[in-house]
Structure 1
Amino acid sequence: MLAECLSEQGEWTQVMPGARACLFSLCERTLPLPLRLEPLHFEVLFCLAGGITLTRRGGSVLRLGTRQVLLLTDISHLTDARVETGLKGVLVAVDARGARASLKAICDLLGGLALNTEQVRRWMASRGGCAVEGSSPWSQAAFADLDRLPQSERARWCVWKSVELLYLLSAQGEPAAEMAPVLDQELTRTLAETRRYMEAHLDEPLSISTLSRRACLSATTFKEGFRRLYGLPAHTWLQQRRMERAAELLRDSSLSVLGVAQSVGYSSASQFSAAFRRQYGMSPTVYRKMSEPAQHRPIG
């Protein structure tokens, strides 16, 4: 589905037989996706920004958000798939037949790891062939490591993490990843519109009471619905998105640290720096220096 959409876009890397990955960024406005996926093919999308909304027969909606992972093995139950503006991520496309020998070799190298693909197939079938992993220790660690890797290594890393996720889903008796449940269409639309508002107003103070009133929902319904749909509490998502936006500005703009802080809702550079350090493990100044192209960095 996504692989077809990205066939002429992005940067594709053949990581191993039967498995390739694409680093991509779609800046266009909202667009539909082709509802096609070859038999015995599956896709794993690591979403770095933006989102995808999948609509199933009967009207239920499944949504992929930032720093979540989408697994697709069968899209026959979908009636619509739509990309939001600014979708960015790493897509892993796998031909199960072509990758069989590679997967076996990986399992052998890991001491005879048992990868029960039939268990994965049944697990995915029980979810209509589409599942979104929300915020879990596994996904948080995967995205944290992805942030640290150079662009050239991200495709390989995501293929490796896809194999790891398959193992977690196949392991008998192991808890699978926390999967985001479906919500009714009206609530999903309301929450999605509110999230877009939050995205467009990162420089403003945004409280739960303000956001829930704007959405015409009770604070409890808003908080519970937002967490179910996006995998994070609203305040955590907002804080995370502010830091992601701050990182973009530090990399791509000449704004001062205070200017960046004010652009993401902080009046104090020191408070912003403390929050940024908690997210990225370094100060904004160090992050900016590390983001400079190697040829522009001072030697020694």
Structure 2
Amino acid sequence: MLTEFLKSIRGEKALWETIITGVDVCNFRLQGNTKDSFIPISLQPLHFEVFFCFAGHVVLKQQWNRVIVVRKQEILLLSEVSSLYSVACTADLAGILVSVDATTAKESLYSLCRMMGDLKLNTFEVKKYMDKQDGCAVIHGSSWVFSTFSEIVKMEDFQKSRYCVWKSVELLFLLSTGTLYPKDKDNLKISKVIREEINEICNYMEMHLDEKITIDYLCHKFYISPTTFKKYFRSIHGQPVYAWLSHKRMEKAAELLCYTSMTVLEIAQAVGYSSLSQFNVVFKKCYTCTPRQYRNRSDSIGFCLFPKE
């Protein structure tokens, strides 16, 4: 689906590579100078796609009015399109698409599994998982997803494509073993009301990254107990509140470094740090380079993980 769409585009920044037999990868960024695009709904038999979203989003509408949205730092796993009647993407979409011909890639994938510690892929379990998702699964909110995108941002472009192939195989393994999300006995007991409340709090935090945010303040503002908040936040997002918030601050800082002329101190303050030295320490821990080095790197590469939205 995305494969045909990207191959039909002209004049966009899209680099196709064949990494191993049967596995093609496209590292792309739409220029953002066109209207939102509709994507043709088609997928060759025994093909599947793994899309790592860096910017923008994809909206998939299914026949029974279910809407799936793939956002920045989320992964779309696609194995079936029969349930879809509309697919569109924003004009600023960017990311890496791993397109796999399962028949041709079978031996290559088995070899890759052996290199990764002799992983055993239970394809039946993967199929069962995807059937429950009607062939369209958005992977997000787990510590594995968080660490995957945290590593991608540190890499040069030529490394990212190969890394995403590696992570695609690892993703299939995690799905086949049921270990992608933490085994939390409370996970199935999270009500729709709790999920919506946690989502509302997350939206608030993202809108106020420049402010001092504490768990006590959030709980007081949203009328939720600290124990309940921390417990269900970790169950939903796979990480503690402050780890999630720190990542969002660093993500915003990286975007500002790439696309504004703000000083490092101004950026630090814009994401909630009054101390420049503390900001530098946290940023370097996240990206393995200082903010200035990150800005210089993005200038030299000409492509940042966090384009303007």
TM-score range, shorter chain: 0.7 to 0.9
Whether the 8 Å contact between 1:134 and 1:231 is mirrored in structure 2 is: no
Match of 2:53 in 1: 47
Partner Cα distance (2:234, 2:85) in 1: 25
1:101 to 85, 107, 119: 107
Task: Single out whichever of 69-78 and 223-232 deviates more from structure 2.
Answer: 223-232
Partner Cα distance (1:207, 1:32) in 2: 41
Match of 2:178 in 1: 175
Match of 1:248 in 2: 255
Partner Cα distance (1:79, 1:233) in 2: 37
Matched, 1:6 2:13: no
**Number of matched residues?**
284
Matched, 1:280 2:287: yes
Partner Cα distance (1:57, 1:226) in 2: 31
| Structure 2 unpaired stretches of 5+ | 183-187, 302-309
Q: Secondary structure at the match of 1:92?
A: strand
1:198-213 correspondence to structure 2 within 5 Å = none
- Following superposition, the deviation at residue 49 of structure 1 comes to 2.1
- Following superposition, the deviation at residue 128 of structure 1 comes to 0.5
Match of 1:293 in 2: 300
Cα RMSD, aligned residues only: 4.2
Matched, 1:134 2:137: no
Match of 2:304 in 1: none
- Following superposition, the deviation at residue 243 of structure 1 comes to 2.2
1:31 to 25, 37, 46: 37
Partner Cα distance (1:202, 1:65) in 2: 19
Matched, 1:72 2:43: no
Q: Which amino acid aligns with 2:5?
A: C
Partner Cα distance (2:3, 2:92) in 1: 17
1:161-172 correspondence to structure 2 within 5 Å = 161-170=167-176
Partner Cα distance (2:169, 2:147) in 1: 15
1:15 to 19, 23, 26: 19
Normalised to the residue count of structure 2, the TM-score between the two structures is 0.71
Q: Which amino acid aligns with 1:261?
A: A
Partner Cα distance (2:70, 2:131) in 1: 18
Q: Secondary structure at the match of 2:153?
A: helix
Matched, 1:149 2:155: yes
Whether the 8 Å contact between 2:150 and 2:286 is mirrored in structure 1 is: no
Whether the 8 Å contact between 2:38 and 2:88 is mirrored in structure 1 is: yes
Return closer, same or farther for 1:33/1:264 CA change in 2, 3 Å cut-off. Answer: farther
Task: Single out whichever of 71-80 and 198-207 deviates more from structure 2.
Answer: 198-207
Alpha-carbon deviations, 1:76-132, whole Å to 9, x = none?
112322323532211101111111121233234456543232332222112100111
| Structure 1 unpaired stretches of 5+ | 212-217, 295-300
